[in-house]
Amino acid sequence: MLSKKIQEYGGVIGLFFLMVISVQGDSSTSKVALVQFQKVFQSLPVTEAAQNQIRNERSKLQKDDAKNVDAILAVDKVINELLVRQQSEAISEEERKKLHAEFLNQFRLRQEKDAARKQALERLNLQLNDKMMARMKTILAKLHQQVQQFAKEEGYTLVFDTSGLNTSHVPSVLYVKGATDITEDLILHFKAQK
């Protein structure tokens, strides 16, 4: 009979419809909760600590890059001095050619340093982003487990994340009759666990 109903309502849509009916039909044992998962995630001290650590690492990366920029600016200064000396009428043609050759060498050196700086900065930023994503993924996985445990302890049968959006950028959950928002309860619960 169940498979006939699913076919009748059209596959997945029918299955979802039956799940909703079964939850609505058995409301005496169903306890539904809503949670703003993003808000809970942001409230965690471990999340803040991870974000601060990444911010500090990114700041160090920027300071190191500033040193590389300073080295390139020093080469720019040498290049400008060579240009000024080349334009002087008080030097011989042979000296002008030597200065021009040195100018080309310094210009090439500047280009190489700038390209290496940009590549290193991009690579290090990607590594830092990967590191941040791995940390956040670990925190989220642990948080999911803790929310599930909390829901079980409190007797909830369904917990919906109201902070999520679907592909049309519309909230995935618009309304659930009789649902309890447990966002603040979870925040207090996790703060008490410190």
Residue 8 has a pLDDT of 43
pLDDT in tens, 82-119: 999 998 888 899 999 999 999 999 999 999 999 999 99
Are 35 and 184 in contact by the 8 Å Cβ rule? The answer is no
Average pLDDT over residues 17-44: 70
Neighbours of 182 (CB within 10 A): 20
Mean pLDDT of the chain: 84
Show the beta-strand stretches assigned E in 18-114: 32-35
**Span 121-148, pLDDT tens digits:** 999 999 999 999 999 999 999 999 999 9
Query: What per-residue confidence (pLDDT) applies to 20?
Result: 42
Q: Which of 9-18, 30-39, 58-67, 109-118 is least confident?
A: 9-18
- pLDDT value at position 98? 94
Is this structure's pTM higher than 0.85?
Answer: no
Measured CA to CA, the distance from residue 51 to residue 58 in angstroms comes to 10
- Residue 173's pLDDT is 79
pLDDT of 39 reads 93
